[in-house]
Amino acid sequence: MTKIIYALSDSVGETAEKVARATASQFTDEKLDIVRVPYVLSEEQIDDIIDKCVKEAGMICHTIIMPRLRAYIEMRTEEEDVVCVDILGPALWAAERITSAEPSMRVGMVRRLNNDYFKKVEAMEFAVQYDDGKDPRGFLKADIVILGISRTGKTPVSMYLAYNGIKVANLPLVPEVPLPDEIRRVPPRKIIGLVVDSYKLNGIRTSRMEALGVMEQSNYSAVDRITEELLYSKEIFRHLHCQMLDVTNKSIEETAAHIMNIVEKNREIDV
């Protein structure tokens, strides 16, 4: 029978789950499932988990901070003889001894301290979800929208910006594919159009085709086709009244830095 470790928290429960998984990884001969239970804010929730532990011979590990709930879970697990590990307790009491100060006992402090981390994660998930115009609704939610023809660096720049907490959506421009209506509703100051030298792009696309195992020349990497696409993209940028950025001799970091400056100016306007 599979045993279960319930990882409880009065916040998101990430710490409790990580400790539970690290513990389970040490038991290779027996299956231990981890169930994260975040936002435990009542005695009823605790009772429900304890009942499950009694039926399933499970255990609890928790990072609950609220004194009332800490006392309740200690009392109830003793009554029902359920194995319970207070993850934060020993560290809190030890730190209290060496600092001569009491812990604040405020819920979610770890999360607050890692606000930048969660902002980055959210932005990176956003960039993946709205990469390559997969969902046009993302254009209206983004901090910045990047347009450009294939292989102008839209995705790597988007991910670099996302790592810096900026929500980016991008759209590949193809002459034969109409623009989604949503892009016309984005303020021009929130759109960046990328262009690159046609011969530079020819080399990039040729290398890409070779990497895919396509050795013969194709229309995709032909200079004439690239020139046609670039002219089309510049016309789109003029039509949208957006800024155009030549990335021919720019690294991803340089391109991203330029766009970050634009995002900061936009945020000042939005305040």
Final residue before a domain boundary, out of 113, 146, 162:
113
Final residue before a domain boundary, out of 70, 92, 113:
113
- Clarify whether residues 134 and 238 are in a common domain: yes
Number of structural domains the chain divides into: 2
Q: How far is Cα 116 from Cα 52, in angstroms, rounded to an integer?
A: 36
Q: Which domain holds residue 247?
A: 115-270
At 77-135, the pLDDT tens digits run 999 999 999 988 888 777 777 886 666 555 455 554 456 767 888 898 999 999 999 99
User: 235 near 196, Cβ under 8 Å?
Assistant: no
- Clarify whether residues 65 and 46 are in a common domain: yes
Burial class (CB in 10 A: 0-12, 13-18, 19+), 166: buried
Q: Please report the pLDDT score of residue 271 as a whole number.
A: 65
Final residue before a domain boundary, out of 87, 113, 139:
113
Q: Give just the sign of the alpha carbon dihedral 31, 36, 41, 42.
A: negative
Strands 144-148 and 3-8: unpaired
- Clarify whether residues 45 and 144 are in a common domain: no
- Clarify whether residues 138 and 248 are in a common domain: yes
- Clarify whether residues 92 and 119 are in a common domain: no
Q: Please report the pLDDT score of residue 49 as a whole number.
A: 94
- Clarify whether residues 64 and 160 are in a common domain: no
* Averaged pLDDT, 149-156: 94
Q: How far is Cα 100 from Cα 164, in angstroms, rounded to an integer?
A: 38
- Clarify whether residues 69 and 192 are in a common domain: no
Residue in this structure with the two tokens 């959506």, named with its chain if needed: 169
Q: Please report the pLDDT score of residue 115 as a whole number.
A: 66
- Clarify whether residues 144 and 41 are in a common domain: no
Which helix H or strand E contains 234, and what residues bound it? helix 223-240
Q: Which carries the bigger pLDDT value, residue 2 or residue 190? A: 190
Q: How far is Cα 23 from Cα 230, in angstroms, rounded to an integer?
A: 55
CATH number assigned to the domain comprising residue 125: 3.40.50
Pick from 186, 183, 187: nearest CA to 172: 183
Burial code (b: 16+ CB inside 10 Å, e: under 16) for 46-60 equals beebbebbeeeebbb
- Clarify whether residues 164 and 68 are in a common domain: no
Pick from 246, 242, 169, 171: nearest CA to 201: 246
Q: From residue 9, give the alpha-carbon distance in Å to each of 3, 22, 47, 108, 200.
A: 20, 17, 14, 9, 54
Q: How far is Cα 174 from Cα 48, in angstroms, rounded to an integer?
A: 56
At 33-65, the pLDDT tens digits run 999 998 888 899 999 999 999 998 899 999 888
- Clarify whether residues 228 and 262 are in a common domain: yes
DSSP codes, 15-71: HHHHHHHHHHTT-TTS-EEEEEE----SHHHHHHHHHHHHHHT-EEEE----HHHHH
- Clarify whether residues 104 and 121 are in a common domain: no
Pick from 38, 3, 53, 47: nearest CA to 23: 3
Q: Please report the pLDDT score of residue 25 as a whole number.
A: 87
What average pLDDT is seen over the chain? 89
Q: Please report the pLDDT score of residue 106 as a whole number.
A: 56
Q: From residue 61, give the alpha-carbon distance in Å to each of 24, 73, 87, 114.
A: 12, 11, 7, 22
- Clarify whether residues 109 and 119 are in a common domain: no
Report whether pLDDT(164) > 90. Answer: no
